[in-house]
Chain A
Amino acid sequence: DAGITQSPRHKVTETGTPVTLRCHQTENHRYMYWYRQDPGHGLRLIHYSYGVKDTDKGEVSDGYSVSRSKTEDFLLTLESATSSQTSVYFCAIRTFGQGSLFTGYTFGSGTRLTVV
């Protein structure tokens, strides 16, 4: 794998509580992404980061915030979780190989979040 770890792997939380998901990479890649995956909708981009403290919204950003204070960590926060945010969340990084050759996007193992 490209050294990308998500935590926690599973979480059950109550409506209205804050939740933070963590994505950690070990290879110093500049771009990091948060996606959610739901049946019938596929993978949809929530937020992404193009550097430390540089972030931007994706297509489904309402109700989510992100932070990137270090190159290796990208945090996704649900300020007040709702049942509609029950989903599988994937972190991804844009990766480069030898000679700075662009090799694609690599995904973490995912976090299954249930809001009850």
Chain B
Amino acid sequence: QKEVEQNSGPLSVPEGAIASLNCTYSDRGSQSFFWYRQYSGKSPELIMSIYSNGDKEDGRFTAQLNKASQYVSLLIRDSQPSDSATYLCAVEDGANSKLTFGKGITLSVRP
């Protein structure tokens, strides 16, 4: 069973701080990695994708990938109350086009 593990939460940060979300995965053949944001009662929304080692920045979001360590992370800079949501790490199966999710971590940004 291919696994994706995320830090148990919840995570609470003050407004303006950096939120750091971490994820590890078991399938060494995985090539595509995603972070989804899910507000309560809504569907998951793709916020970042990363396919190669290193950092990828998009606005206040930075995804980091280290395939050797089987580790992917998401940094949210200048956190806002509107960032309060559940963040899901997802990894695409290296052999088939299937997405496996971590259980998610709930982020709360305190005003």
For the complex, what is the distance from the CA of A107 to the CA of B46, rounded to whole Å?
9
Given the interface pairs A59-B1, A109-B43, the reply to whether A102 lies near B102 with Cβ below 8 Å is no
* Chain B: number of interface residues, binned into ranges: 20 to 34
Bound Cα distance from A106 to B99, whole angstroms: 11
Across the interface, A90 reaches (CB within 8 A) one of B1, B44, B49, namely B44
Shortest Cβ distance from residue B103 to the other chain A in the assembled complex, whole angstroms: 4
A43 and B44 contact, CB distance less than 8 A: yes
Kindly identify which residue among A48, A106, A110 contacts B98, using a CB–CB cutoff of 8 Å.
A48
Residues of A within 8 A of B45 (CB): 107
B54-92, CB < 8 A from A: 88, 90
Residues of A within 8 A of B46 (CB): 104-106
Shortest C-beta distance, A26 to chain B (Å), equals 17
Report whether A45 and B98 are in contact in the complex, using a CB–CB cutoff of 8 Å: yes
* Chain B facing A: main interface SS: loop
* Smallest CB gap from B48: residue in A: A104
CB contacts (< 8 Å) of A40 on chain B: these are 103
- Name the A residues within 8 Å of B102 (CB-CB): 42
Shortest A98–chain B CB gap in Å is: 15
Quick check: B44 and A45 within 8 Å, CB to CB? Answer: no
How far does the Cβ of B58 sit from chain A's closest Cβ, in whole Å? 13
What CA separation (Å) do A103 and B67 show in the bound complex?
20
Bitwise, B95-106 to A at CB < 8 A (1) or not (0) is 011111111100
Residues on A with C-beta less than 8 A from B97 are 31, 48, 50, 94
Query: Which B residue's beta carbon lies closest to that of A39?
Result: B103
Interchain residue pairs with CB less than 8 A apart (11): A42-B88, A42-B102, A43-B88, A45-B98, A58-B98, A103-B49, A104-B32, A104-B34, A104-B46, A105-B90, A107-B43
Task: Give chain A's interface residues, CB within 8 Å of chain B.
Answer: 31, 33, 35, 40-45, 48, 50, 56, 58-59, 90, 92, 94, 102-110
Q: Which 5 A-B pairs have the closest CB atoms?
A: A42-B103, A43-B101, A107-B43, A104-B46, A42-B101
